[in-house]
Structure 1
Amino acid sequence: MLQISRTSCYPRKKAQRDESTPTAKVGRPIPGYSYGINNCIVDDSVIETLLHEACEKYPFYGYRKITKILRKKHGLRINAKKVYRLSKKLGLLLPYVKHTKQGHLAIARELTGMNQLWQIDIKYVRAINGQFIMLTDIIDVYTRKLVGKEITKTATTNDALVAIQRALKENNVTRNIVLRSDNGPQFTSVKFEHFCKTNNIYHELIPTNSPNYNAHIESFHALLEKECITWNEIRDFTHGYMLINDYIKFYNDERIHGSLDYMSPNEFIRKTMN
């Protein structure tokens, strides 16, 4: 319309920003406090002290679980973003670990309560003096509770049977239980299969080289390694027995799980099973 050629027009270059020019911060300023019980103001310095105490008691918790601890034990109205910021400032953040996605179980079971599906496995721990501590343990998949254990110097079929007998007795289970295990010699023996049949236990084996089929008990062993064994120098069998036994009690009574709405297994059972 103006009789101007398109090729004679060029776009205007954007003005380059001077790096030395300060830019305005985006977002609201950091208040420096949070609210606690009865809407009282809690200064960030106090929160940092509580954060130090929580991280000393639970050095294996990430900032999300620490947030739950601060809310539950101290009544703080605080979000995970602030805990992350303060933890980063104080150097309390755990190193980031990239998790790989696991496949689903080939045998899917719809669980509606505890004592329907158990998983059993054996954990080997070596002490400084060369002794081995063998932990044969059983976990309930629905509640994540460790329902049975046997800590010995050996890992035989008899040790596994003792752990199962103790779990059946302490949880008042007499029938309709599925027990899943790997293909270890303790679990494929004739004696083990005979015990399962006489005690109304449906025993199923996972495919070879497929630990993700036993994911819950494998996850517990990873937590035991990360939160107990690597934090202590286990001197001998007696020392290891005490540490592992104490950790199992802590795991069932206190350790919170994201999959249980940040409750411990026993707390989850009390609130949902009764």
Structure 2
Amino acid sequence: MKKKELPTVEDKKTLGRKYNEKGLKVSRVCRLLQISRTSFYPRKKLVVDKLSLARSVGRPIPGFSCGINNCIVDDSVIETLLHEVCEKYPFYGYKKITHILRRSHGLQINAKKVYRLAKKLALLLPYVKHVKQGHLAIARNINFVNELWEIDIKYVKALNGQFIMLTDIIDVYSRKLVGREITRTATTEDAKTAVKRALIDNNVTLNIILRSDNGPQFTSIKFEEFCKINNIYHELIPTSSPNYNAHIESFHSLLSKECISWNEIRNFTHGYMLIDEYIKFYNEERIRGSLNYLSPNEFIKKSMI
């Protein structure tokens, strides 16, 4: 004998609608047939208007740009100019080409249009994926001063809107801030300057490990070349793993709590003075529980005995 087939969900819905037409409540019908009330009603199919969909993509491409005295310049003319500029400067990207078209030919054109036309004419430079420099950070047992340094950048905003960029370097063993650069910018050159001063001030020439996050200042080719020249083993922490850089993160947290939040920093000069004073206090006077309640400088002196 053949087994009796169980009714499908669609069969139950059809049967439920028949019961509903005879006067039974929807809630009672769904409960009896054991189907969801939200799926009882037939779904309406969405009718998509292709013409309205095409219009919703964006405004139509005008096919021209404006030049000197707001005169119309056709795209075919712009394509000819693009060929000329790319032949003269084959190593320029579309943003620099846009600047040349504006400056030399008086075109009122944005970089998006230049990109679109250059792509159409196959004039774009091949995309080169940036490869991060440095080695991947690993867990280490640190037993000496100037064995492992951590570097990071902190941004502080003054009341007048000026930004103060701190490029700080901390020694993991002694917790001493061995280097710092307080500037208005946060570039690779600022990071290199901070490391240079730290090497000179602490009389370090080799066998130093420098750990950083994946910021563009530290993953650049220039910074990695600088590290190789100065015998620095540069390592990068894994992405989204600030605990690998915990010591410098801890210092920046203390700086925020004990210096920045207690003072209204008026401008760059005022902030420079306050932060510089706090760093001196931190190295010379501020005691730390992890250093047996000694300051970093006191801990170094005691460890050298």
Identify the TM-score tier after normalising by the shorter chain: 0.5 to 0.7
Of structures 1 and 2, the larger Rg is shown by 2
Identity %: 78
Q: How many residues align?
A: 170
Following superposition, the deviation at residue 107 of structure 1 comes to: 2.0
Q: Aligned letter for 1:261?
A: N
Write out aligned runs for 1:138-149 (5 A).
138-149=169-180
Q: Is residue 2:150 matched to residue 1:114?
A: no
Residue in structure 1 matched with residue 191 of structure 2 by the alignment: 160
Q: Is residue 2:290 matched to residue 1:253?
A: no
Write out aligned runs for 1:1-274 (5 A).
107-274=138-305
Q: Aligned letter for 1:159?
A: D
5+ residue gaps, structure 2 = 1-136
Residue in structure 2 matched with residue 56 of structure 1 by the alignment: none
Question: Structure 2 length as normaliser, TM-score?
Answer: 0.55
Alpha-carbon separation, structure 1, partners of 2:207 and 2:242: 24
5+ residue gaps, structure 1 = 1-105
CA RMSD of aligned residues (A): 1.2
Following superposition, the deviation at residue 109 of structure 1 comes to: 1.2
Alpha-carbon separation, structure 2, partners of 1:199 and 1:228: 33
Residue in structure 2 matched with residue 64 of structure 1 by the alignment: none
Following superposition, the deviation at residue 266 of structure 1 comes to: 0.2
Q: Aligned letter for 1:227?
A: E
Alpha-carbon separation, structure 2, partners of 1:107 and 1:161: 23
Question: Structure 1 length as normaliser, TM-score?
Answer: 0.61
Q: Aligned letter for 1:168?
A: L
Alpha-carbon separation, structure 2, partners of 1:127 and 1:111: 37
Alpha-carbon separation, structure 1, partners of 2:215 and 2:227: 16
Alpha-carbon separation, structure 2, partners of 1:151 and 1:253: 19
Q: Aligned letter for 2:261?
A: T
Q: Aligned letter for 1:167?
A: A
Q: Aligned letter for 2:164?
A: I
Alpha-carbon separation, structure 1, partners of 2:182 and 2:284: 19
Map Cα deviations across residues 181-200 of structure 1 (whole Å, 9 max, x no partner): 00000000000000001111
Q: Aligned letter for 1:214?
A: N
Q: Aligned letter for 2:256?
A: E
Following superposition, the deviation at residue 272 of structure 1 comes to: 1.2
Map Cα deviations across residues 199-235 of structure 1 (whole Å, 9 max, x no partner): 1100000011111110000000000000000000000
Q: Aligned letter for 2:236?
A: L
